[in-house]
Amino acid sequence: MFFIMVCSLNLKAEPSIIQASATSFGNNIIPQTGSCEMAHDTSILTNISGNVCSTSTGSRGHYKIYSTPNTTVRVIIRPHNNSGDGVVFSPDGVIFSDSTAQIAFVEHATTNIDSGTSGIVEIYIGGTLTLVSKPNTSQSYNFTFEIDYSEI
């Protein structure tokens, strides 16, 4: 027997995201209520109210979305709201690709960006950390925020 099979496939991979570096306000948060802001471009920490951040720099987040080259990627950055942990994180930063200059994003708002010839969309995230209740001094606090993305 002899078989000839002709198959035409049009495979399109879903975009994926990696965390190149995590958003961190450091290990020495002072256990009191207040707010501290981290600049997305320099990682410099500035206390807004209270004296929450005890160091001068944190670590801005850096995330990369890998998508199909030259497509439009929809990105929404969602904050961490107080879910009973007393922590609120309001992210701010920029989104860009090799064909699109930096675009400042607004949390909850949709940002559409061309993925460029590389297909890589980069995101740098800083933001404001607010402790709405006095944390326990012996506890570590991890907050999560969401990056929603898809090709459109």
Average pLDDT over residues 26-36: 88
Q: What are 64-76's pLDDT values in tens digits? A: 999 999 999 999 9
Q: What is the distance in angstroms between the CA of the first residue and the CA of the last residue of the chain?
A: 45
Does residue 80 belong to any structural domain of this protein?
Answer: yes
The domain tally of the chain equals 1
Provide the residue count of the chain. 152
CATH number of the domain within which 32 lies: 2.60.120
Q: What are 56-113's pLDDT values in tens digits? A: 999 999 999 999 999 999 999 999 999 888 899 999 999 999 999 999 999 999 999 9
Does residue 11 belong to any structural domain of this protein?
Answer: no
Does residue 88 belong to any structural domain of this protein?
Answer: yes
Domain that holds residue 25: 16-136+143-151
pLDDT of residue 4: 46
pLDDT at 7 over 70: no
Does residue 71 belong to any structural domain of this protein?
Answer: yes
Single pTM value for the model: 0.87
Burial of 39 (0-12, 13-18, 19+ CB in 10 A): middle
